[in-house]
Chain A
Amino acid sequence: MALDRWIALIILMICLAYGYAAFFTMDATLPPFMQRNPVWPSTFPKILSVSGGLVALSIVLGLEKHTGVGKEPDIEYTRLGDYKIGQALFLLGLMVAYALCLRPVGFLGSTMFFLIAGSVVLGERRFHIIIPVAALASGGIWYLVQEVLGIFLRPWPFFLGV
């Protein structure tokens, strides 16, 4: 089974779970005064789950015939190994690490680390360029956001106060 049909199957499952939640779990807790409304909070989800499920099912079963010539995909997912999948996964990991570190480590430290590590992963080795650029960018953005725009961003690690 091709990837697009697997995805449709997963979406079908999501629709079923969503539909279960909409049909069986939401209405019982509805306060009486809201029950007099023509549209309940669960009305739209019910419609969506049924129609979404039907469309997903039609893709899973391959009802729609592909009339168009299949255009060359940008990336052939069956040969992911031929691409720089390692770099991509590493960058995704880096983004997760950034999300987890942003608060405790502070904006300046985590941003500099993210930008430097990101460049290094992609094969950049000119450290005398990377480090100043990363420092300048994180400092500049921090100044813009915190000082000019007044949106709080913790600059330093948690143990330095602020």
Chain B
Amino acid sequence: MAFSEQEILAGLAEIVSEETGLPTESVSQEKSFTDDLDIDSLSMMTIVTLAEEKFTVRIPDDEVKNLATVGDAVSFINSAQS
């Protein structure tokens, strides 16, 4: 079963909120993980690990550096769904 973009954003916002304590509403498409959400590399890897499980996708380590914004991550997860 594939997730819609909206579902991916909502699910990702939950993961980020759990990790950072920020409200889910603040996790919107245009937000930068590092600059806006203050997420360090270890936290980013935690988010990636949890997102892989939640959306049943694989996010290769090489790809993580390209995921600058929440929107980047939503797009990647969406396209990676088989």
Chains A and B bind each other: no
